């Protein structure tokens, strides 16, 4: 059989009775770095007999390997808690991005504290040191129920086998054929699909992070549980590097920066997930939106504006009430009609299209709006500006003839990337999300839309992967992801080809042969939402936004009162070329005024004293530099700064 090694090379071996034999049969410097294998696309334990023509060895420093490490560590966490608190109940413990968690209900409604975290970690390390093997077993449904007789959450998972549309249960090792379990001691057993590391000794580079509340099945009407979060990595160095990134992420947290820089806050009088923007924050929003609007106008878009609420009948036709009602705000009854705050802008843009008969000469019709939509996110998932209940989308809907679809998608991808680059973002990748299990439309329609999206991606320079089954209920989509300054991945732009809404709204255009045809519809949010993109930019730049986005671009600081008039003349000259300037008068010590400007993340601080007044110069403190420049001719500084103040709108026509 063919064996693919982690370094990308391959070997041929005759046969093997287990993954361990495969590992021993090939040359690998560190054999313990191999945690599992992949056969015919399925991850399996090394104890299993390989199947298929090709075996892929999975190392701990790969995405799959880290998932296995984290899931295995979650099992050890559950084992430690049950040994320390006998009689406790455990629910589910999946791996997540950069870590894992496990949910528990302690006996007598006990609560975890900081000292408990230390005890649990110590118990986990003793389990790891014991080198306990992870052993898989297959049981019948009844055997599984008997085994977990005193564990109600596990029993519910097993009893729900008839409803396996819920992938969470499938991941727990339950199917209509039976139950898979893993033991790693005589006393601990857990439901699990696997795979796991060969033994607990493969683990150890982990840390428990925090405790949070959680509801069973995410339902606030069900049992309230305690969730322990942790992280696990393939080595001590990788763990320490991650903890450094966490510290840096905390320093960059947009919620913290928003308060420190006086940009926004979330008043409790308004409610969770609904921010108010202070003057500085509102100015940044304006600058973001203004640049985007100018670029869209040059790109052939037309502006639209739509109201915040609509009758329920609109969302019945669009399908939102059928598919998204649980995430919508409650209805309002007025004058015999039911109204909803809009969760999406697309139905209203369709009404603009349908306001009169359309000709092929009008296509493609590109409508654009900064439209605020409302979605009732659960309080547990709200996260500053990154997850809100009222979000403003830079929403565009493009209506085109079938023959125009490929060209529009390629042009649109180019426009998205160029606009994101204008904000200083460079590292992109994409996901092509295909048809989910719950969806509407014919197979050929989905295939046509998916092929068009994939063609556009192939024409771009963006690396991409297919995310099978992750599309919206009505359309496949492209999600654009970016990496920020500390390597975190953010999903921003979304691009969808929709063949369903044009049918549901009976949209038409008159073609060149005078026949009526159905247009294609492209949904596109470039920022994703203004609020989320604002948060991404704040964290990417650690609050030190590019000069053109900074609320105050230049601070002028006179050394003493007699220099104030010269400072004001400098400010006037800068204002005339479009700069946003503040003069910090000599009413407090010079060092304090400079420090305040630095804390405000001001890009340029100009210090002027007697010598500058005489020579028409300035002292320049550039943000990020510890070495001020002295005796800089003010005229030279004006020439230098003029290109940073206002960005040039994009022109992307092909």
> Any known ligand binding at 397?
yes
Alpha carbon of 589 to those of 117, 149, 558, 561, 638: distances in Å? Answer: 48, 73, 11, 11, 27
Residue 472 has, within 13 A of its CA and on its CB side, a CA count of 20
Q: Return the biggest CA–CA distance within the chain.
A: 93
Q: Which residues pair with 629 in a beta bridge?
A: 620
Alpha carbon of 525 to those of 284, 397, 447, 465: distances in Å? Answer: 19, 9, 22, 20
Full DSSP string of 218-273: G-TTS-EEEEEEEEE-SSHHHHHHHHHHHHHHHHH-HHHHHHHTT-EE--TTT-TT
Q: Which of 252, 358, 411, 477 is catalytic?
A: 477
Residue 562, C-beta contacts closer than 8 angstroms, at least 6 positions apart: 610
The alpha carbon torsion through 220, 222, 228, 232 (nearest 10 deg) reads -90
The residue with tokens 């699909």 is 193
Alpha carbon of 416 to those of 410, 522, 523: distances in Å? Answer: 10, 14, 13
Q: Report the sign of the C-alpha dihedral through residues 618, 623, 629, 633, in that order.
A: negative
Q: Tell me, yes or no, if 254 is annotated catalytic.
A: no
Q: Which of 79, 132, 393, 496 is catalytic?
A: 393
Residue 114, C-beta contacts closer than 8 angstroms, at least 6 positions apart: none
Omega within 30 of 0 (cis) for the link into 489: no
> Any known ligand binding at 349?
no
Q: Tell me, yes or no, if 477 is annotated catalytic.
A: yes
Alpha carbon of 575 to those of 197, 582, 640: distances in Å? Answer: 64, 10, 15
The answer to whether residues 638 and 540 touch, using CB atoms and an 8 Å cutoff, is no
> What CA–CA distance (Å, rounded) separates 435 from 445?
11
Q: Which of 66, 75, 154, 397 is catalytic?
A: 397
Q: Tell me, yes or no, if 251 is annotated catalytic.
A: no
Report residue 70 as tokens.
């984290």
Angle of helix 530-540 relative to helix 279-298, nearest 10 degrees? Answer: 110
Task: Return the CA Rg of the chain.
Answer: 29
The answer to whether residues 24 and 198 touch, using CB atoms and an 8 Å cutoff, is no
Strand pairing category for 174-175 and 178-183: antiparallel
Closest by CA to 617, choosing from 625, 627, 629, 602, is 629
Q: Which of 70, 89, 320, 523 is catalytic?
A: 523
Q: Tell me, yes or no, if 395 is annotated catalytic.
A: yes
Residue 595, C-beta contacts closer than 8 angstroms, at least 6 positions apart: none
Q: Which of 154, 375, 524, 601 is catalytic?
A: 375
Q: Tell me, yes or no, if 375 is annotated catalytic.
A: yes
Residue 337 has, within 13 A of its CA and on its CB side, a CA count of 9
Closest by CA to 246, choosing from 259, 233, 234, is 233
- What's CA 446's distance to the chain center, in Å? 25
Q: Which of 45, 395, 484, 612 is catalytic?
A: 395
> What CA–CA distance (Å, rounded) separates 268 from 468?
40
The answer to whether residues 522 and 549 touch, using CB atoms and an 8 Å cutoff, is no
Residue 137 has, within 13 A of its CA and on its CB side, a CA count of 15
Q: Which of 70, 132, 226, 346 is catalytic?
A: 346
> What CA–CA distance (Å, rounded) separates 514 from 516?
7
Closest by CA to 582, choosing from 551, 609, 560, is 551
> Any known ligand binding at 346?
yes
Question: Binding site, residues?
Answer: 346, 397, 523
Residue numbers annotated as active site = 346, 375, 393, 395, 397, 477, 523
Question: Binding site for Zn(2+), residues?
Answer: 346, 397, 523
């Amino acid at each position: 059989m063919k064996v693919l090694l982690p370094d990308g090379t391959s070997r041929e071996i005759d046969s093997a009775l287990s993954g361990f034999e495969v590992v021993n049969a090939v040359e690998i410097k560190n054999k313990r770095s191999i945690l599992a294998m992949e056969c015919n696309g399925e991850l399996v334990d090394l104890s299993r007999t390989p199947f298929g023509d090709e075996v892929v060895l999975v190392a701990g420093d790969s995405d799959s390997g880290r998932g296995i490490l984290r899931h295995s560590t979650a099992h050890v966490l559950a084992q430690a808690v049950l040994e320390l608190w006998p009689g406790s109940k455990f629910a589910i413990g999946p791996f997540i991005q950069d870590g894992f968690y496990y949910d528990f209900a302690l006996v007598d409604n006990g609560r975890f504290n900081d000292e408990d975290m230390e005890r649990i970690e110590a118990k986990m390390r003793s389990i790891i040191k014991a080198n306990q093997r992870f052993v898989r077993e297959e049981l019948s449904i009844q055997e599984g129920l008997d085994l977990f007789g005193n564990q109600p959450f596990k029993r519910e998972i097993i009893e729900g086998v008839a409803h396996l549309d819920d992938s969470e249960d499938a991941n727990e090792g339950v199917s209509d054929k039976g139950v898979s379990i893993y033991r790693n001691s005589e006393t601990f057993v857990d439901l699990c699909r696997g795979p796991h590391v060969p033994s607990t000794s493969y683990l150890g580079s982990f840390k428990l992070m925090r405790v949070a509340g959680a509801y069973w099945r995410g339902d606030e009407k069900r049992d309230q549980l305690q969730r322990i979060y942790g992280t696990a990595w393939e080595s001590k160095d990788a763990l320490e590097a991650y903890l450094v990134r966490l510290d840096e992420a905390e320093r960059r947290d947009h919620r913290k920066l928003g308060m420190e820089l006086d940009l926004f806050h979330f008043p409790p009088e308004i409610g969770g997930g609904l921010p108010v923007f202070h003057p500085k924050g509102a100015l940044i929003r304006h600058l973001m939106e203004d640049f985007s609007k100018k670029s869209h106008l040059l790109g052939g878009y037309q502006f639209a504006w739509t109201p915040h609420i609509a009758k329920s009948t609109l969302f019945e036709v669009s399908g939102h009430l059928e598919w998204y009602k649980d995430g919508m705000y409650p209805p309002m009854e007025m004058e015999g009609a039911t109204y909803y705050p809009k969760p999406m802008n697309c139905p209203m843009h369709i009404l603009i299209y349908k306001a009169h008969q359309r000709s092929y000469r009008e296509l493609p019709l590109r409508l654009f709006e900064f439209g605020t939509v409302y979605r009732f996110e659960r309080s547990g998932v709200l996260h500053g500006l990154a997850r809100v209940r009222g979000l403003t989308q830079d929403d565009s809907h493009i209506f085109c003839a079938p023959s125009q679809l490929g060209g529009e998608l390629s042009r649109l991808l180019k426009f998205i990337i160029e606009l994101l680059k204008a904000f200083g973002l460079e590292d992109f990748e994409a996901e092509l999300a295909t048809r989910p299990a719950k969806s509407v439309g014919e197979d050929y329609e989905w295939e046509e839309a998916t092929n068009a999206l994939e063609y556009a991606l192939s024409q771009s320079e963006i690396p991409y992967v297919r995310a099978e089954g992750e599309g919206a209920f009505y359309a496949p989509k492209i999600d654009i992801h970016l990496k920020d300054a500390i390597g975190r991945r953010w999903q921003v732009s979304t691009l969808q080809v929709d063949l369903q809404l044009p049918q549901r709204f009976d949209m038409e255009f008159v073609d060149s042969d005078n026949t009526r045809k159905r247009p294609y519809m492209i949904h596109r949010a470039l920022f994703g939402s203004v609020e989320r993109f604002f948060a991404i930019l704040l964290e990417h730049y650690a609050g030190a936004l590019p000069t053109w986005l900074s609320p105050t671009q230049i601070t002028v600081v006179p050394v003493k009162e007699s220099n104030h008039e010269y400072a004001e003349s400098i400010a006037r000259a800068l204002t005339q070329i479009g700069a946003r300037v503040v003069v910090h008068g000599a009413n407090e010590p010079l060092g304090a005024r400079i420090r305040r400007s630095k804390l405000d993340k001001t890009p340029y601080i100009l210090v002027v004293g007697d010598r500058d007044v005489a020579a028409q110069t300035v002292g320049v403190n550039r943000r990020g530099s510890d070495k001020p420049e002295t005796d800089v001719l003010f005229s030279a500084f004006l020439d230098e700064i003029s290109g940073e103040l206002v960005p040039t709108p994009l022109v992307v026509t092909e």
